[in-house]
């Protein structure tokens, strides 16, 4: 592995990719659909393509961003690009404790710069209409419901990470594709519930950008996107370790 400075730079760039492309796609979707009448009662907050079409586009944007980051930067830093992933890997002793804080700072910084640069490129409509792609529970969704959606979604993501990226027995070359598709699938499924952040940094960047650029203050919801992803990721890492521990021990 590269030294810590190079690895932190890779985490910064990878998280920048994630937020600029993924959250940016969410903001653009809202801007394109401004003023459009929702086609049904459940389409309560995003897009004009009937809900699922919008979330498909947003999910694919995130999936492509993650795949790109993993294939480009995975050999440098492991491409966590997610504080929940970093913390979960540390929990199961797959990542050194001394590097946890530098990784998380780099991830938060990359997400923040991505949101601010997106606003600079697109204009204030990205803030006032698109909200910089910030996540929040949708109308009718309670705080605990949103946390549970984030727990389950991140559990699925982390299980994929453990199986295709962390486990040494996994076939090589597929991690970026499978992890990206997993994120896309989760976003398509629970995006209209909690926003499907799965990542404290992905939510932090747009929240900070909105705050600095006088957008909507959503910080009251931030605990959802800390608790849900971290709990979900840790549970998945522990579960995967439990399921594979005897086999690993027998292999020496």
Predicted confidence (pLDDT) per residue in 77-114, tens digit: 999 999 999 999 999 999 999 999 999 999 999 999 99
Res. 234 pLDDT band, cuts 50 70 90: very high
pLDDT of amino acid 40:
63
pTM, entire model: 0.92
For the cut 70, the answer to whether the pLDDT of residue 203 exceeds it is: yes
3-state secondary structure labels for all residues of the chain: CCCHHHHHHHHHHHHHHHHHHHHHHHHHHHHHCCCCCCCCCCCCCCCCCCCHHHHHHHHHHHHHHHHHHHHHHHHHHCCCCCHHHHHHHHHCCCCCHHHHHHHHHHHHHHHHHHHHHHHHHHCCHHHHCCHHHCCCCCCCCCHHHHHHHHHHHHHHHHHHHHHHHHCCCCCCCCHHHHHHHHHHHHHHHHHHHHCCCCCHHHHHHHHHHHHHCCCCCCHHHHHHHHHHHHHHHHHHHHHHHHHHHHHHHHCC
pLDDT of amino acid 141:
93
Predicted confidence (pLDDT) per residue in 15-66, tens digit: 999 999 999 999 998 888 776 666 666 555 565 555 677 888 999 999 999 9
């Amino acid at each position: 592995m590269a030294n810590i400075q190079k690895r932190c730079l890779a985490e910064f760039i990878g998280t920048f990719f994630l937020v600029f492309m993924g959250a940016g796609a969410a903001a653009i979707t809202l801007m394109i659909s401004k003023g459009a009448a929702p086609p049904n009662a459940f389409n309560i907050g995003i897009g004009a393509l009937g809900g699922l079409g919008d979330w498909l586009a947003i999910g694919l944007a995130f999936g492509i961003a993650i795949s790109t980051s993993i294939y480009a930067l995975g050999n440098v830093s492991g491409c966590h690009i997610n504080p929940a992933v970093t913390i979960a890997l540390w929990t199961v002793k797959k990542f050194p404790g001394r590097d946890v804080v530098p990784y998380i700072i780099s991830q938060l910084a990359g997400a923040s710069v991505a949101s601010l640069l997106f606003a600079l490129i697109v204009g204030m409509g990205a803030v006032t209409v698109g909200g910089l792609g910030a996540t929040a529970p949708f109308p009718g969704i309670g705080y605990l419901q949103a946390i549970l959606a984030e727990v389950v979604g991140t559990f699925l993501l982390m299980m994929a990470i453990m199986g295709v990226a962390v486990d040494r027995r996994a076939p090589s070359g597929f991690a970026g594709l499978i992890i990206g598709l997993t994120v896309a699938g989760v976003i398509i499924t629970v995006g209209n519930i909690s926003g499907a952040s799965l990542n404290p940094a992905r939510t932090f960047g747009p929240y900070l950008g909105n705050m600095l650029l006088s957008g909507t203050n959503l910080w009251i919801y931030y605990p959802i996107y800390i608790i849900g992803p971290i709990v979900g990721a840790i549970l998945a890492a522990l579960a995967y370790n439990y399921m594979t521990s005897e086999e690993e021990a027998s292999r020496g």
